[in-house]
């Protein structure tokens, strides 16, 4: 068995398992533009990685998948940069605020419990809504009931002030809703290590009124910048990014994101969402069971200085660098994620 010791998270884990999981998560990221963090972070926790480390490394992994998926969608001209920049303004602000909230609960010693409660509520709610919507859509298609929809449905948010014209999406909309929803996504990203695409994608379609073909790519584009901020702040404030875990996860997610992007036009999205919603519900119920019955959520304790344990010289160097040079360590971790994402995207474009 290929086992690796993660010196920052202080956990021994199977490399093949991590690679397989990251490929699957990256696949969903490229396919649906959802980032995949709401799948990866819970899985890392279930594999025995404490939530505080799962959140930080999940965020860095989303960065790799987002870069890879964004480039893939850019090749197909499926990005709205202007709309993305508005959401990024709010997302970065929300991410910074979310880190302060995370740090408060960490100092209180309750951050792991808060993360578990939020995941239980969020995953259960999201999974149920996804399942209902997908089943309705599958039934409608099978009965050949086609609904004629307007190009854009206008809500009260479209009448807010500070309107601008977004030519790519053919919208004339206030800048307030994109920035506001970006703030919400940024807070969730900092607290839970999720990309927020599972919220952002339906918001882009049903509230902002963006064309569906631009949504996945734009969502992934937004996630790049939010995840850079989240990863950087977690690494600097909590020393919770494990570069060994980063290396394994980003390779798998970069490849998976390209696979998802390539076949996104060949699969029936409503059936895929239905299967995915069941998986999300299972994760949500698992968090609830562990939290209230099994009580296996590990305690939060990263305030003490990490001591080498079953490490080699390379692992000791990583621990030392993360503590003494946190900025350099964070930038190195993010650079690996970005580089792998770029290489995966251009490799798939050239050879597939």
Mean pLDDT of 118-125: 77
pLDDT at res. 261 = 67
Confidence band, pLDDT 50/70/90 cuts, at residue 292: low
The SS3 call for residue 221 is: helix
Mean pLDDT of 313-328: 81
Domain residue extents for the chain: 16-293+313-351
Q: For 264, how many CA atoms within 13 A lie in the half-sphere containing its CB?
A: 27
Mean pLDDT of 283-291: 68
- Provide DSSP, 144-174: T------S----GGGGSSSEEEETTTTEEEE
Which residue matches tokens 């290489």?
343
- Look at residues 34, 46, 266 and name the one whose alpha carbon lies nearest to residue 127: 34
- Look at residues 4, 33, 26, 12 and name the one whose alpha carbon lies nearest to residue 223: 33
pLDDT tens per residue across span 62-113? 787 788 778 877 887 888 888 889 999 999 999 899 888 888 888 877 777 7
The SS3 call for residue 316 is: helix
Select the more confidently predicted residue: 155 or 286: 286
Of 142-146, 233-237, 255-259, 332-336, the least confident: 142-146
pTM confidence score: 0.76
């Amino acid at each position: 068995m290929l086992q690796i010791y993660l010196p920052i998270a202080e956990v021994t884990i199977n490399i093949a398992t991590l690679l397989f999981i990251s490929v699957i998560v990256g696949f969903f990221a490229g396919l649906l533009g959802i980032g995949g963090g709401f799948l990866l972070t819970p899985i890392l926790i279930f594999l025995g990685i404490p939530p505080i480390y799962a959140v930080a490394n999940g965020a860095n992994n989303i960065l790799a998948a987002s870069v890879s998926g964004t480039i893939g969608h850019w090749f197909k001209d499926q990005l709205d940069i202007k709309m993305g920049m508005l959401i990024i303004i709010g997302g970065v602000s929300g991410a910074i605020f979310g880190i302060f909230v995370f740090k408060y609960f960490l100092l209180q010693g309750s951050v792991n419990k808060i993360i578990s409660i939020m995941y239980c509520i969020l995953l259960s709610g999201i999974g149920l809504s996804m399942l209902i919507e997908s089943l309705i859509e599958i039934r409608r298609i099978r009965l050949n009931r086609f609904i004629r929809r307007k190009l854009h449905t206008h809500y009260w948010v479209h009448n807010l002030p500070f309107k601008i014209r977004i030519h790519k999406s053919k919208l004339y909309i206030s800048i307030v809703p994109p920035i506001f929803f970006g703030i919400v996504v940024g807070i969730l990203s900092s607290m839970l290590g999720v990309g927020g695409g599972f919220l952002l994608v339906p918001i882009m379609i049903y509230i902002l009124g963006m064309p569906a073909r631009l949504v996945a790519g734009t969502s992934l584009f937004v996630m790049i910048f939010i995840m850079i901020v989240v990863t950087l702040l977690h690494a600097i404030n909590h020393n919770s990014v494990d570069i060994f875990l980063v290396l394994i996860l980003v390779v798998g997610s970069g490849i998976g994101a390209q696979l998802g992007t390539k076949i996104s036009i060949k699969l029936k999205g409503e059936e895929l969402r239905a299967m995915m919603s069941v998986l999300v519900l299972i994760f949500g119920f698992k968090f609830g069971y562990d939290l209230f019955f099994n009580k296996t959520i590990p305690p939060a304790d990263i305030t003490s200085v990490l001591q080498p344990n079953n490490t080699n010289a390379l692992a000791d160097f990583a621990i030392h660098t993360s503590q003494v040079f946190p900025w350099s360590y964070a930038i190195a971790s993010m650079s690996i994620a970005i580089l792998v994402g770029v290489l995966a995207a251009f490799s798939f474009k050239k050879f597939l």
